[in-house]
Amino acid sequence: MRVLGISGLYHDSAAALVVDGVIAAAAQEERFTRRKHDADFPAKAVDYCLSVAGCGLDELDAVVFYDKPFVKFERLLETYLAVAPRGFNSFRMAMPLWLREKLFQKSILGKELRKIAPGFDVEKLLFTEHHLSHAASAFYPSPFDDAAVLTMDGVGEWATMTLAIGSGKDLKIHKELHFPHSLGLLYSAVTYYTGFKVNSGEYKVMGLAPYGEPRFAALMLDKLIDLKPDGSFHLDQSYFNYASGLTMTNERFAALFGQSVRQPEQLLTQFHMDMAASVQAVTEEIVLRLARSVRAETGQKNLCLAGGVALNCVANGKLLRENVFDNIWIQPAAGDAGGALGAALAGYHLYAGHERPPRSGNGDAMQGSYLGPSFSQAEIEAELTAAGARFETLDDAALIETTAQALADGKAVGWMQGRMEFGPRALGSRSILGDPRSPQMQKTLNLKVKYRESFRPFAPSVLREDVADWFEIDEDSPYMLLVADVQKGLRREMSEAEKALFGIDKLNVPRSTIPAVTHVDYSARIQTVHADTNPRYHALISRFKALTGCPVVVNTSFNVRGEPIVCSASDAFRCFMGSEIELLVVGNSVLRKEEQDPGLKLDYKESFELD
């Protein structure tokens, strides 16, 4: 049975294909169209999935959309009616779009699908609820036969948070928290207030938090949020504007904290860092209370997480260290793009009633999240040649040796290999790599390669067999969704003068023997690299370890600020020529910056809208 899942028409459109219960393909539309967070119907992602299936759209057994637009419209209307006449401007702007497009999504989706296959039977088009899609994306690929499933995001139809129980092929939602009370929207409100883009900049707030102190956390808990012992809560809507207005927060929110909304690109101050630290602390407290109450109520030993809040790897790491559950598994595409995968899995297991296929060993079913397109060496060379690139093609051993030596020499390396990752993290398939031992590498990658804010941390990719020697964790973390501290023996203590530095000035103080991946609080967002899921990346880090004694490399996504992660060889070459990446490795082809035609150099710094 072949089931296609689709998410989109809000943000982060994607498509995913499940064949006989096995995940065959999944990709976000932005990677093909090169438009960040592309919300349009994912025609190119659908085309990719069909190419993997080797069939036409009309040959599929079902197509499942990841939420129910009529229920979402009901929530919108009820919210406007509840606050009328306040919110009229928002109502006036939203209604034409809903009446023209979103309300009749079955018809619109049918038209889009018939563009691909004129004979497509619209009766094959099914809908599942937003949070059920998230829950399915987390439970069915997990390594667990039974689990509690917690989903947390901004809002789906009505739900903002759900508790589901999964057992075998069965999955049922047992509890919901409803709009406008939302942990995701609280975090997004502070994202907006501190001057970052909603649905994009939340991870910046998480990265900024260690520079601050959570001095506003008590005020948030006193005024903004009524938090119960079980983790449920209510938000005081008199401080927010998202339910019926055009902004996330209002003047009362600004008055409470004593400053107006920061404008994008305006100088960050200690106040903004403290706001970030405060909302992060509140988020962690809510997640821990929820987890404890779920464990006590359900008796489940395993926990699965999905929804945008599940991408908060700092909260995830704290939850892991608290040992509330015996095992935790987090969907790597936890946001709305992952809803496409959840919709396909729900279609296969819940609509069609099929059992889960057997898993090999104790691993999950995500295949390392390497579910996107791959390209043959011939295709890579053809694309590079057409782009005017100058390259040499090496055998596997020479390729690994050349790349590892470049990293050891302090070069920034673009690395494109195998199938593209599904989800927001680059996991060693579409990555920019560097030497973590270099005190300059973090600043160089941020300012000269990524063209982004200097405070943002980079993740370490570490050989799974070596992770416990370098970090205070001995768990699989293949999807870069857990934060742990660098081992104490590798840390460098700060002097009193260094401790007194202001906020961002702390960035320039090396914290460990791997300073490029050690955040200001000695933490790191860890990716464990496994030989069975990414043998070439594992071989590269192994060779780097042999050269340097260090089994860790810097790993950041292969893109510049505001650009989607690269998909193809031509995408990689453009980014290479538009940034200060020094070596590009695509398949078995190696490109050196100094050998390229200077006329092909691009000004990438201003090419994309800031994220």
Q: What is the pLDDT of residues 460-469, one digit of tens each?
A: 999 999 999 9
Say if domain 183-327 classifies as CATH 3.30.300.30: no
The rounded distance, in Å, linking the Cα atoms of 295 and 199 is 30
Q: What is the pTM of this model?
A: 0.93
Each residue of 205-225: pLDDT tens digit?
A: 999 999 999 999 999 999 999
> How many residues does the structure list for the chain?
611
The rounded distance, in Å, linking the Cα atoms of 611 and 605 is 13
At residue 167, does pLDDT exceed 60? yes
Mean pLDDT of 536-550: 98
The angle subtended at Cα 42 by Cα 110 and Cα 67, nearest 5°, is: 65
Q: Which amino acid does the sequence have at 66? A: Y
Tell me the sheet residues that pair with 234. 226
At residue 521, does pLDDT exceed 60? yes
Tell me, what's the pLDDT at 265?
82
Q: Which two tokens stand for residue 227?
A: 């938090």
Each residue of 81-110: pLDDT tens digit?
A: 555 556 555 555 555 554 555 556 778 898
The dihedral built from the CA positions of residue 28, 32, 37 and 43, taken in this order, carries a sign that is negative
Tell me, what's the pLDDT at 551?
98
Residue 605 gets which letter from DSSP?
Answer: T
Q: How many C-beta neighbours within 10 Å does residue 266 have?
A: 11
Each residue of 22-38: pLDDT tens digit?
A: 999 999 999 999 999 99
Q: End-to-end alpha-carbon separation of the chain, Å?
A: 39
Tell me, what's the pLDDT at 108?
84
At residue 501, does pLDDT exceed 80? no
Mean pLDDT of 304-312: 96
Report which of 158, 22, 170 is spatially closest to residue 77, judged by C-alpha positions: 158
Tell me, what's the pLDDT at 508?
74
The rounded distance, in Å, linking the Cα atoms of 172 and 189 is 30
Query: Taking the domains of the chain in order of start, what are their residue ranges?
Result: 2-66+68-127+336-365, 183-327, 377-600
| Neighbour order of strands in the sheet with 302-306 | 170-178, 159-167, 146-152, 302-306, 327-330
Mean pLDDT of 121-148: 95
Does the active-site annotation cover 11? yes
**Rounded to 5, what percent of the chain is helix, strand, coil?**
40, 20, 40
Alpha-carbon torsion angle 305, 311, 314, 318, nearest 10: 0
Tell me, what's the pLDDT at 101?
54
Q: Which of 11, 178, 354, 530 is catalytic?
A: 11
Mean pLDDT of 184-198: 95
Mean pLDDT of 340-361: 93
Mean pLDDT of 13-17: 98
The rounded distance, in Å, linking the Cα atoms of 494 and 256 is 35
The per-residue DSSP string of 530-593 comes to: -TTT-HHHHHHHHHHHHHHS--EEEEEESS-TTSPPP-SHHHHHHHHHHS---EEEETTEEEEG
- Identify which has the larger pLDDT, 439 or 192: 192
Percent of the chain with pLDDT over 70: 93
At residue 159, does pLDDT exceed 90? no
Q: Which residues contact 43 (CB under 8 A, 6 or more apart)?
A: 29, 112, 115, 116
Tell me, what's the pLDDT at 94?
57
At residue 239, does pLDDT exceed 60? yes
93's enclosing H/E stretch is: helix 88-97
The rounded distance, in Å, linking the Cα atoms of 53 and 61 is 12
Mean pLDDT of 69-73: 56
User: 413-445 burial string, b = 16+ CB within 10 Å, else e?
Assistant: bbbbbbbbbbbbbbbbbbbbbbbbbbeebbebb
Check for a shared fold between 2-66+68-127+336-365 and 183-327. yes
CA distances (Å), origin 295, targets 183, 328, 559 = 20, 12, 40
Tell me, what's the pLDDT at 82?
58
Report which of 203, 231, 212 is spatially closest to residue 314, judged by C-alpha positions: 203
CB 569 within 8 A of CB 384: yes
Mean pLDDT of 495-515: 79
The rounded distance, in Å, linking the Cα atoms of 579 and 601 is 9
The rounded distance, in Å, linking the Cα atoms of 137 and 581 is 35
Tell me, what's the pLDDT at 81?
53
Mean pLDDT of 515-525: 93
pLDDT band at 444 (very low <50, low <70, confident <90, very high): confident
Q: Which residues contact 290 (CB under 8 A, 6 or more apart)?
A: 150, 152, 161, 230, 231, 232
Mean pLDDT of 242-252: 87
CB 180 within 8 A of CB 242: yes
pLDDT band at 9 (very low <50, low <70, confident <90, very high): confident
The rounded distance, in Å, linking the Cα atoms of 415 and 587 is 8
Tell me, what's the pLDDT at 158?
77
The angle subtended at Cα 394 by Cα 538 and Cα 548, nearest 5°, is: 40
Q: Any idea which fold 377-600 has?
A: DHBP synthase (3.90.870)
Tell me, what's the pLDDT at 71?
56
Tell me, what's the pLDDT at 235?
96
Q: Which residues contact 545 (CB under 8 A, 6 or more apart)?
A: 463, 466, 551
Q: How many C-beta neighbours within 10 Å does residue 507 have?
A: 18
Tell me, what's the pLDDT at 363?
86
Helix (H, G, I), strand (E, B) or coil at 496: helix
At residue 295, does pLDDT exceed 70? yes
Percent of the chain with pLDDT over 90: 78
Phi, psi at 155, each rounded to 5°: -165, 145
pLDDT band at 285 (very low <50, low <70, confident <90, very high): very high
Tell me, what's the pLDDT at 504?
66
Tell me, what's the pLDDT at 95?
54
Mean pLDDT of 56-69: 91
CB 586 within 8 A of CB 382: no
- Identify which has the larger pLDDT, 307 or 362: 307
In CATH, what class is 2-66+68-127+336-365? alpha beta
Helices (H) and strands (E) in the chain, counts: 20, 21
Tell me, what's the pLDDT at 485?
96
Phi, psi at 500, each rounded to 5°: -85, -5
Lowest model confidence (mean pLDDT) among 308-322, 358-372, 516-530:
358-372
The rounded distance, in Å, linking the Cα atoms of 77 and 95 is 9
